[in-house]
Amino acid sequence: MSTDRKARIATVSLAGCFGCHMAILDMDERLIDLMARVEFDRSPLNDLKRFTGRCDIGIVEGGCCNEENVHTLQEFRRNCDVLVALGQCAIMGGLPAMRNAIMHSDDPLRDCLDEAYLSSPYTRNLTNTVPNDPVLPLLLDRVYPCSEVVEIDLQIPGCAPSGDIIHDTLIALLDGKFRGFERTELRFD
């Protein structure tokens, strides 16, 4: 990566809880040094909704649970040189992927929606229907890890990943020296 301009980073939260974005902030004061070397393009951190140009690094939190997630992820792939899946949701579906299989059901998505909107004893839903407004993105049959939708260059594990592993990985990428993680740094929780 050239040193005479700042590297451009874009981030997005798909089917995630935003915890991984909070973890980016866990870099704490190291963010100040990082900001001397990078600028953020499209990201919820600056509320930029569209890409303003090609980015060096794209960071994706969360997997794909609906159509919109897929489009967004494909846009990130098109606009970013290095695409990073940040956290277990992006890597393997994470908590949202609980709806894929653990419902003891042949139709887990239907059962999930029924439980949430109709049948749970804690549900108070006056219309007694599952929300179906056309503006709602269409849910996918299951929750997909990012790597099943587009090519992912690098996965940073954790739920959420530590500020340390995010910082060390970004710095190594910016220096063009990423050689993998320290094994003792790996966490899936």
Partner 1 sequence: MSGDSFTFTIDGVEVTATPGQTIMEAADAAGIYIPRLCDVEGLRHQGGCRVCTVKASGRSAAACTQPAAPDLVVDNETDHLNTMRRHLVEMLFQEGNHLCPVCEASGNCELQAMAYRLEMVEPFRFPGLEPCRPVDASHPDIALDTNRCISCGRCIRASADVDGKGIFGYVGRGIHRRVAVNGSDLAHTDADINDHAVSRQVCPVGCIIRKREGFSIPIGEREYDHGLIGDEGDSE
Q: Which residues bind partner 1 (CB under 8 A)?
A: 85, 88, 91-95, 97-98, 100-106, 108, 142, 145, 147, 152, 155, 157, 159, 180-181, 183-184, 186-189
CB nearer to partner 1: pick between 66 and 147: 147
Tell me how long the chain is.
189
Taking the complex as a whole, how short is the minimal distance between the CB of residue 58 and partner 1, in angstroms?
Answer: 16
In whole angstroms, give the CA distance from residue 26 to residue 154.
20
Residues 6+ apart with CB under 8 A from 160: 19, 20, 22, 23, 26, 87
CA atoms within 13 A on the CB side of 120: 12
Distance set, CA 6 to CA 38, 55, 57, 123 (Å): 5, 10, 12, 50
Going by C-alpha positions, the residue among 63, 77, 61, 88 that lies closest to residue 140 is 63
Taking the complex as a whole, how short is the minimal distance between the CB of residue 186 and partner 1, in angstroms?
Answer: 4
Taking the complex as a whole, how short is the minimal distance between the CB of residue 31 and ligand SF4, in angstroms?
Answer: 18
Q: Which partner, ligand SF4, partner 1, none, binds residue 103 by CB below 5 to 8 Å per kind?
A: partner 1
CB nearer to ligand SF4: pick between 22 and 118: 22
Measured from each CB, the residue nearest to ligand SF4 is 19
Taking the complex as a whole, how short is the minimal distance between the CB of residue 19 and ligand SF4, in angstroms?
Answer: 3
Q: Which partner, partner 1, ligand SF4, none, binds residue 35 by CB below 5 to 8 Å per kind?
A: none
**Residues of this chain that bind ligand SF4 (CB under 6 A):** 16-17, 19-20, 61-62, 87-89, 94-95, 159-160
Q: Which partner, partner 1, ligand SF4, none, binds residue 25 by CB below 5 to 8 Å per kind?
A: none
SS (H, E, C) 18-66: CHHHHHHHCCCCHHHHHHCCEEECCECCCCECCCCCCEEEEEEECEEEE
CB nearer to partner 1: pick between 58 and 157: 157
